[in-house]
Amino acid sequence: MAETTITVAEIHCERCEHAIETALSRVEGVRAVVPSAARNEVAIHFDEAATSEAELRARLVAAGYDPVSPVS
């Protein structure tokens, strides 16, 4: 089981939180999604054998949210 936190600047309200939770919960291998408008973050617990952080980021984009690129 893996955990990641992705920063998403456009989380403004509970409706945004719900939309993100719904979109990511549909991804195979995702166990928990905890979006926070207050912190502009989404904490995700997922099975690395079933999905990847790249796929989760792609699903955020497909749902209309732009994840902030990680600092390298």
Question: Position of tokens 């502009």?
Answer: 40
Mind listing the pLDDT tens digit for each residue in 19-52? Answer: 999 999 999 999 999 999 999 999 999 999 999 9
CA distances from 44 to 3, 50, 56 (A): 6, 14, 9
User: CATH number of the domain at 2-62, out of 3.90.1150.10, 1.10.10.10, 3.40.50.1370, 3.30.70.100?
Assistant: 3.30.70.100
For residue 8 the two structure tokens come to 């998403």
Question: Position of tokens 């999604």?
Answer: 33
Map out the domains of the chain as residue ranges: 2-62
Q: Which pTM value belongs to this model?
A: 0.89
68 DSSP 8-state letter: P
Q: Does the pLDDT value for residue 56 go beyond 70? A: yes
Residue type, 30: V
